[in-house]
Amino acid sequence: MVGSVCTTRGIGEETPDRGAIGRPLKIGSLELTSNLLLAPIAGYCDLAFRLTCRSFNDDPAGEQGGLGLACTDLLSPHGLLKGTARSLDLAKTNDEDRPIGMQLYGSDPSIMGEGAAWAVEHGASLVDINMGCPVDKITKKDGGSKLLCDPDRALRIVESVRTAVDRASNGRVPTTIKTRLGWFDDEPVAEWLAPKLIEAGAMAVTLHGRTTAQKFRGHVDLPGIRRVVEAIDGRAPVIGNGDVKEPEDALRMIEATGCDGVMIGRGALSTPWLFRDAWTLQRRGSCPDCPELHARIELVRRFLELMRKHRGDRGAMIQMRRRISWFAKRLGPCRPLREAVRLAEDPESVHRALDAFLGGNLQPAPCRDEQGTGRGADRIDQPAAGAA
Helices (H) and strands (E) in the chain, counts: 14, 10
The alpha-carbon radius of gyration of the chain (Å, integer) is 20
**Is the Cβ–Cβ distance between 328 and 364 less than 8 Å?**
no
- Residue 74 carries which DSSP code? E
Spatial CB neighbours of 104, under 8 Å, sequence gap ≥ 6: 74, 75, 76, 77, 112, 115, 116, 119, 127, 128, 129, 130, 161
Angle at the Cα of 3 from the Cα atoms of 218 and 72, rounded to 5 degrees? 60
Spatial CB neighbours of 210, under 8 Å, sequence gap ≥ 6: 180, 181, 216, 217, 218, 220, 221, 242, 388
Tell me if residue 133 is catalytic: yes
Residues shown for the chain: 388
Point out the catalytic residue in the list 133, 259, 287, 290: 133
- Residue 125 carries which DSSP code? S
Torsion of CA 60, 62, 65, 70, to 10 degrees: -120
Burial 271-294 (b: 16+ CB within 10 A, else e): bbbbbbbbbbbbbebebbebbeee
3-state per-residue secondary structure call for 104-123: ECCCCHHHHHHHHHHHHHCC
**Is the Cβ–Cβ distance between 231 and 240 less than 8 Å?**
no
Known catalytic residues? 133
